[in-house]
């Protein structure tokens, strides 16, 4: 009957171990590669290097102990060196290392240490004597000014002649300086006479025509108020007491008997200024020449200033006959002398459209 038919049969106990068989032949010896570093166990009889490189020719395998002998012999390094050998601390030159890419030129050994000087530049005090090419005036020192004070090594002059550089004392002499609060800098003084400098040939000549004007040559005026001559003044240019004169020469065309109207105006707008003087001569139907004269005085100045004018006309009626018409003013008109563009004007109206007055010349100028 088969085992399967009978079911599983339990295993019996293990029998005793058999005898050891014979040892096999030894394998080939380990051959290390040239230069290979081998872990070795070193034996040394004295102090020395604690590691080394086993020579490839030793024939030792990894972990295999080398024979006895001193450390250097075992490692193939030659004669062993003791830890207190003087060669380890020899201060000889290392010329090859000094020439490498990390030079040590200029380093100083502690044995060659030195002490700094206690005077001069190294001692922290810089004097001119230890500075090369630096003179006493080439830099600023705290006490440099003392060299130029009276009694100094390079003292400046004091109160030297005019136009000569020097120190100046405060005083009233011709060579001393004035203090900032000196009364002479603010007191009132009478100017030195210098009228001659303002003459036409003087060094500061005054243009006597700066306050004058001329009219248009041959200006024909009919029965519409028209400016004969005018002058515009800047703000504050007009002053109390100034006097201006008008002169105009004319010829007449037209025989209508009509009276002309002559005016002196002052104000900031042409033909609308205040009328300081008015003259209406007698009618005449003659074609005769004539002349107009007038004066305008600035009586008072300022924003509430005043002015007054006078007019006169003369006509040539016959060979020796001159008829005058005069109208001196007794009142004043307002004028703001502080305002700009003040216009002083001589105006004319012929009195009839058929009568024309041609002004051959006209002037306005200051007389006082």
Q: Output the domain CATH number for residue 316.
A: 2.60.120
The pLDDT value recorded for residue 165 is: 84
CB count within 10 Å of CB 121 equals 12
Q: Is residue 249 part of a domain?
A: yes
Give Cβ neighbours of residue 13 (< 8 Å, ≥ 6 apart): none
Distance CA 121, CA 79 (A): 56
Tokens of 340: 């700009």
Decide: 232 and 340 in contact? Cβ < 8 Å.
no
Domain end residue (candidates: 78, 112, 140): 78
Q: Is residue 269 part of a domain?
A: yes
Residue 265's pLDDT is 97
Stated pTM of the model? 0.49
Residue 15 domain flag = no
Q: End-to-end CA distance of the chain, in Å?
A: 175
CA distance 294 to 247: 7
What does the alpha-carbon distance between residue 311 and residue 46 come to, in Å, rounded to a whole number? Answer: 146
Is 338 among the domain residues?
A: yes
Question: CA–CA separation, 355 vs 258, rounded Å?
Answer: 8
Predicted pLDDT at 14 = 75
Beta-bridge partner residues of 296: 244, 309
Establish if 273 belongs to a structural domain: yes
DSSP state of 57: G
Residue 116 is assigned to a structural domain of this protein: no
Dihedral of CA 98/99/104/106: which sign?
positive
Domain boundary among 78, 93, 110: 78
Q: Distances from the Cα of 338 to the Cαs of 79, 100, 114, 289, in angstroms?
A: 121, 94, 89, 39
Residue 207 located in a structural domain? no
3-state SS, residue 213: strand
Max CA distance (Å), the chain: 198
How would you write the pLDDT of the chain (368 residues) with one tens digit per residue? 445 454 555 677 777 777 777 777 776 666 666 665 555 554 444 454 444 444 444 454 444 444 444 444 444 544 444 545 555 455 555 555 555 555 555 655 556 655 666 665 556 656 656 666 666 556 555 567 778 888 888 888 888 888 888 888 899 888 899 898 888 888 888 888 888 888 767 888 777 667 889 988 898 999 999 999 999 999 999 999 999 999 999 999 999 999 999 999 999 999 999 999 999 998 878 888 999 999 999 999 999 999 999 999 998 877 666 777 888 888 999 999 999 999 999 999 999 999 999 999 999 999 98
Q: What is the pLDDT of residue 149?
A: 84
Say yes or no: 217 and 74 in one domain: no
Domain boundary among 78, 102, 132: 78
Is the residue at 196 inside a domain?
no
Range of the domain at 53: 32-78
* Domain count for the chain: 2
C-alpha 250/C-alpha 229 separation (Å) is 13
Structure tokens at 254: 């037209």
């Amino acid at each position: 009957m088969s085992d399967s038919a009978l079911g599983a049969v339990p295993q019996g106990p293990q029998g005793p171990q058999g005898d050891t068989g014979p040892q096999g032949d030894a394998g080939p010896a380990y051959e290390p590669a040239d230069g290979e570093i081998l872990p070795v166990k070193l034996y040394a009889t004295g102090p020395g290097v604690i590691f080394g490189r086993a020579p490839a020719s030793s024939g030792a395998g990894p972990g295999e102990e080398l024979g006895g002998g001193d450390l250097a012999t075992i490692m193939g390094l030659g004669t062993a060196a003791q830890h207190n050998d003087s060669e380890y601390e020899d201060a000889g030159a290392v010329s090859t290392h000094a020439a490498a890419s990390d030079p040590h030129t200029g380093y100083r050994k502690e044995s060659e240490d030195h002490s700094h000087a206690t005077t001069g530049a190294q001692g922290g005090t810089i004097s001119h004597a230890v500075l090369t090419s630096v003179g006493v005036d080439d830099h600023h020192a705290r006490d440099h000014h003392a060299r130029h004070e009276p009694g100094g090594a390079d003292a400046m002059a004091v109160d030297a002649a005019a136009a000569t550089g020097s120190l100046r004392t405060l005083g009233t002499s011709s060579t001393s300086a004035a203090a900032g609060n000196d009364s002479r800098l603010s007191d009132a003084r009478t100017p030195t006479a210098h009228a001659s400098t303002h003459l036409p040939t003087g060094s500061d000549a005054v243009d006597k025509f700066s306050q004058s004007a001329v009219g248009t040559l041959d200006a024909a005026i009919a029965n519409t108020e028209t400016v004969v001559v005018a002058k515009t003044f800047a703000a504050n240019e007009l002053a109390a007491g100034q006097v201006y004169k008008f002169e105009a020469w004319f010829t007449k065309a037209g025989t209508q008997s009509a009276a002309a109207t002559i005016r002196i105006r002052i104000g900031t707008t042409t033909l609308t200024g205040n009328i300081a003087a008015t003259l209406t001569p007698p009618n005449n139907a003659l074609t005769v020449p004539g002349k107009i004269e007038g004066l305008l005085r600035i009586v008072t100045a300022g924003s509430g200033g005043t002015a007054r004018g006078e007019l006169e006309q003369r006509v040539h009626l016959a060979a020796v006959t001159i008829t005058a018409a005069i109208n001196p003013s007794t009142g004043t008109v307002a004028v703001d002398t502080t305002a700009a563009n003040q216009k002083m004007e001589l105006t004319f109206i012929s009195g009839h459209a058929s009568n024309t007055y041609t002004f051959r010349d006209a002037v306005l100028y200051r007389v006082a």
